[in-house]
Structure 1
Amino acid sequence: MEEGQLCSPLNPNGNDRTRENFSPSSLTTTCSRSFWAESKAIWSIAGAAIVSRIATSGLTVITQAFVGHIGDLELAAFSLVVGLIVGFDSGILIGMGNALGTLCGQAFGANKHHMLGIYLQRSWLVLMGFAVLLLPLFLFTTPILRFLGQSKDVAQLSGRVALWCIPFHFSFPFYFAIQRYLISQRKNIIIAWSAAVGTIVSVLLNWLFVLKWNMGIDGALASLDIGWWIPAIIQFLYVTCGGCPLTWTGFSREAFYELWPFIKLSFASGVMLCLEIWYYRILVLMTGQIKNTEVIVNSLTICLNINDWELSIPLGFLVATSVRVANQLGARNPRGAKFSILVSTVYSSLVGIMILVLLLVFRGHLGYLFTNSTAVQEAVAKLAILLACTIILNSVQPVLIGVAVGLGKQYLVAYVNIICYYFIGLPFGLILGFVFHLSIMGIWVGMICGTAIQTIVLIFITWRTNWEKEVIQINHQVTTMSSIESFPEE
């Protein structure tokens, strides 16, 4: 990447001016202006995505905190269902929603605004269909966990918890799709506010149902269901009642056309993210083969939920990177796409380092937030070191995945995930955990190695990307898809 290109990314036709006025001071000024302009664009998207994910992840973490003070058995059952069943389920549906972000971002950058509403409706159809297909995971949670080696008491209570999770499972297709649709056109405020409202209501209901009315784990799960549906309903009403007049023209039968290409991209996106999320969920699965299961399950899932909450920040930059890359490539500006990647990486890394320091300083106190068990608190403090290593890797990796999403190459990341995670990281972890008897810490160390290798591979792929070629391919695709639709251009 040339110096002049780096410093004028937002104006693809600005090369002549840069060359005419080239001097150290003018170059510095141009770089500074470009950096802050791109920073504003990145943070406007990432900020809303971060608030939304923190709020929705907070729904689970807050509910887990209330459940943890009911009893260790209840906490173990809730942790297993959220960590395994809901984690697998939401991973697929969030990933499939990313396909909508790719298409909407590229179309919006190319000023094909009328296509976004059609894409949104197609995404609802595809995601709802997959949500129905995933329903058996919730209906047969108890036999699934028993088959995987969990104790009878934990598995039976987990089956009851899973049934309570079905209502908010069906909020995912609406919530994840609408969020990507809104973010692609920079309508960020409604996303943040609706998520915040859902979280506040859930906290109040947890306090009322669990602490005041003593409804136990049923009350906690009811509040979780309501907390998830509130932002989904708010955003749906915003879109369909006039909040997006440029891109939403009403329900249309056009949404039923060209579904197969949409399903393929959505499925590739779902597999990509599910492989990512499921990788660390395997840690929870392995606890069924280790002694002192309840303590290990509780401490590990507390760490993973903290990781999920922290991951809200780099995932916010994933969304911002994917949107900015898609917008810039749709607008035929490859230099702008490369500059967006640089800015996102800088901010995500800085935030990751700050959180790493805070985590190491306060690692001895993390367990107190979730449980009264001294054994679990001590186990959390030990695992916090590995959690810190995971967090620092996660500060860069999601941005690189966002590049692939912006390009529409989710399938490529899926292949990389399979090789680095399941053929390298996981076997190495199992060797350390069971052959060298390092237990759950050995498994986690091996899996961290897999993540490190994956990050290196993604850096290489991003560096070797031919951006000018990608611009040509993406704009040809957008033009072709636009010509299929029967709606006139806005």
Structure 2
Amino acid sequence: MIAHNNMKSSPRLENEHEHENEPNNLIMKKLLSRCWEESRLLWRLAFPALLTELFQFSIGFVTTGFVGHLGEVELAAVSVVENILDSSAYGVLFGLGSALDTLSGQAVGAGRLERLGTYTQQSWIICSATAVALTPAFVFATPILKSFLHQPPHVSRVAGPYARWAIPRLFAHAMNIPLLMFFQAQSRVWAVTAISGAVLAAHVALTYLAVRRLGCGLRGAAVVGDISHWLIAAAQFAYMRGGCFPEAWKGFTVRSFSNLGAFVKLSLGSAVMIWLVVSIGYGSLEFWYYTTLLVLVGLLKHAKLQIDIMSVCLNYEFMTIMVALGFSTAAGIRVSNELGANRPKETKLAVVVAVSTSAFMGAIFMAFALIWRTSLPKFFSDSPKVIDGASRLGYLLAVTIFMSSIWPVLSGVAVGAGWQVPVAFINVGCYYLVGIPLGILFGFRLKHGALGIWMGMLTGTFLQMAILLAIIFRTKWEKQAELAKMRISEWGGKNENQPLIS
């Protein structure tokens, strides 16, 4: 009788067990479905963005590759201009544009497209004025590199004329960065990707013609680079004015000047000192950090060779950073849009998917760098010493590439949430109070040379990445959504005549 009852009760218990598990199964399926959809959305945003970043970065990559085969001095000269002067200038302008990135993304999430045109014009004014202020650094490149940064004299002499011929691209950056953010905030970047790809193809052909066939050397390479950057800016401007953005672009308006003070306050972080960290520091800290690496290497013995070796490694690292910046842009768009739409749960999911995806891509790039570490340097130089030195740094380059695939995405999340100020202070502490001092200690005091400098600075990057990860995954996104709502209400407003900031 007992056995009979047990046999009859077993199916009932099994059914009850199934019903108990059913909600968990449904929750898991729903979660996986949402992750899949978020991943698709992230890739839909990131893929054209990363291609755009990669194509535009490759303009300088191709230039360095052609010039590197002219000689070791030419390679070193172009490297210090591209990786010290131009990267620093681009970082300053990119940092100033971070205010546009935050406001535009959250305005789109809140359905305030009419604000984008005014924001973009205000950003053009600020970036163009900054480009004018940065021009003397290019005019006086030789004394700055030689006397102030203590780079090798013969490298500084060759770099000076190249830097002066590269001045026009400064103003192309000032126009291009706000345009990119205008398109990215609305997830309309495929046309920009096509423009960048077409210009890159033309750049390869023109650089080959100028440097290899016509023998124009560094001057020809610089002029072709200027033409290519301005072609991108002009084509993007034509696309914006072509009628594809009737709600977001309504033509030039004097309101961009009347509200300029409020926009500057946002870029300055409401105080000059905060601006120095946020608008300059936040956007360019990462650029200047790696620029400092190249500057410190220039102080070592056999500096020209060390600069050549490091520039080869940095060019490949910067290329992976450009890919990561595509995911950074997508993460920033997703976070700002979801916060602007007051959807904190979706924001958290977007963050998790973006960081996981970037880590996976970083692992792939790291494996690629390890496998091809002896072949990659040959693109930039025919010198056996340069190729051998860069190959020896291949293992450290692989680790750096993995980290460089993650920290831009964390920065993108910060921009999307409007955390420029606290993250800037974190970056200052990790990079300049930990990374650089350790690099100097390992490289000079402990006599490990370029390897020691790089290892010390990589420690600062790891610390910054760990702190950002801890902050992001402890964030209360419900509170951030409320802050975004208040920000849009205060800075956007339903009244077209309302000031940017009350």
Contact 1:348–1:395 (Cα < 8 Å) also in 2: yes
Contact 2:317–2:404 (Cα < 8 Å) also in 1: no
Which among 388, 392, 395 is matched to residue 398 of structure 2?
388
Give unpaired runs (5+ residues) of structure 2.
Answer: 1-19, 268-274
Q: Secondary structure at the match of 2:374?
A: helix
2:45 matched to which residue of 1?
A: 45
Per the TM alignment, residue 342 of structure 1 is displaced from its structure 2 partner at its CA by 0.8
2:304 matched to which residue of 1?
A: 294
1:79 matched to which residue of 2?
A: 79
1:303-382 equivalences under 5 Å are: 303-382=313-392
* Alignment TM-score, normalising by the size of structure 2: 0.91
1:266-305 equivalences under 5 Å are: 266=267, 267=275, 268-305=278-315
Q: Secondary structure at the match of 1:289?
A: coil
Q: Distance in 1 between matches of 2:449 and 2:471?
A: 34
Q: Is residue 2:491 matched to residue 1:481?
A: yes
Per the TM alignment, residue 487 of structure 1 is displaced from its structure 2 partner at its CA by 6.4
1:5 matched to which residue of 2?
A: none
Moved over 6 A (4+): none
Q: Distance in 1 between matches of 2:279 and 2:360?
A: 27
Per the TM alignment, residue 485 of structure 1 is displaced from its structure 2 partner at its CA by 5.1
Q: Distance in 2 between matches of 1:155 and 1:396?
A: 34
Q: Secondary structure at the match of 1:483?
A: coil
Per the TM alignment, residue 70 of structure 1 is displaced from its structure 2 partner at its CA by 1.3
Contact 2:298–2:304 (Cα < 8 Å) also in 1: no
2:96 matched to which residue of 1?
A: 96
1:15 matched to which residue of 2?
A: none
Q: Distance in 1 between matches of 2:280 and 2:246?
A: 29
Q: Distance in 2 between matches of 1:466 and 1:255?
A: 34
Q: Secondary structure at the match of 2:108?
A: helix
1:35 matched to which residue of 2?
A: 35
Contact 2:161–2:219 (Cα < 8 Å) also in 1: no
Contact 2:152–2:304 (Cα < 8 Å) also in 1: no
Contact 2:55–2:196 (Cα < 8 Å) also in 1: yes
1:7 matched to which residue of 2?
A: none
2:252 matched to which residue of 1?
A: 251
Q: For residue 406 of structure 2, what is the amino acid of its counterpart?
A: V
Q: CA RMSD in A?
A: 1.8
Q: Distance in 1 between matches of 2:209 and 2:242?
A: 33
Q: Is residue 2:123 matched to residue 1:117?
A: no
Contact 1:313–1:348 (Cα < 8 Å) also in 2: no
* Per-residue Cα deviation, 1:209-259 (whole angstroms, up to 9, x for no partner): 112211111121121111111111111011122121121111111111332
* Per-residue Cα deviation, 1:368-418 (whole angstroms, up to 9, x for no partner): 111110000011011222111111112222221111101111111110011
Contact 1:115–1:485 (Cα < 8 Å) also in 2: no
2:185 matched to which residue of 1?
A: 184
Percent identical pairs in the alignment equals 34
Of stretches 162-171 and 258-267 in structure 1, the one that deviates more from structure 2 is 258-267
Q: Secondary structure at the match of 2:243?
A: helix
Of stretches 208-217 and 75-84 in structure 1, the one that deviates more from structure 2 is 208-217
Q: Distance in 1 between matches of 2:449 and 2:184?
A: 42
Contact 1:433–1:441 (Cα < 8 Å) also in 2: yes
Q: Distance in 2 between matches of 1:193 and 1:265?
A: 32
Per the TM alignment, residue 22 of structure 1 is displaced from its structure 2 partner at its CA by 5.9
Q: For residue 355 of structure 1, what is the amino acid of its counterpart?
A: F
Q: For residue 139 of structure 2, what is the amino acid of its counterpart?
A: L
Contact 1:106–1:474 (Cα < 8 Å) also in 2: yes
Of stretches 265-274 and 129-138 in structure 1, the one that deviates more from structure 2 is 265-274
Q: Distance in 1 between matches of 2:137 and 2:118?
A: 30
* Per-residue Cα deviation, 1:165-220 (whole angstroms, up to 9, x for no partner): 11111101111111111111111211211111111110010111112211111121
* Per-residue Cα deviation, 1:266-322 (whole angstroms, up to 9, x for no partner): 352432121111111111111232111111011101111110111112111111111
1:384-423 equivalences under 5 Å are: 384-423=394-433
Q: For residue 55 of structure 1, what is the amino acid of its counterpart?
A: F
Of stretches 148-157 and 61-70 in structure 1, the one that deviates more from structure 2 is 148-157
Give unpaired runs (5+ residues) of structure 1.
Answer: 1-19
2:270 matched to which residue of 1?
A: none
Contact 1:63–1:206 (Cα < 8 Å) also in 2: yes
Q: For residue 222 of structure 2, what is the amino acid of its counterpart?
A: L
Q: For residue 58 of structure 1, what is the amino acid of its counterpart?
A: S
Contact 1:42–1:321 (Cα < 8 Å) also in 2: yes
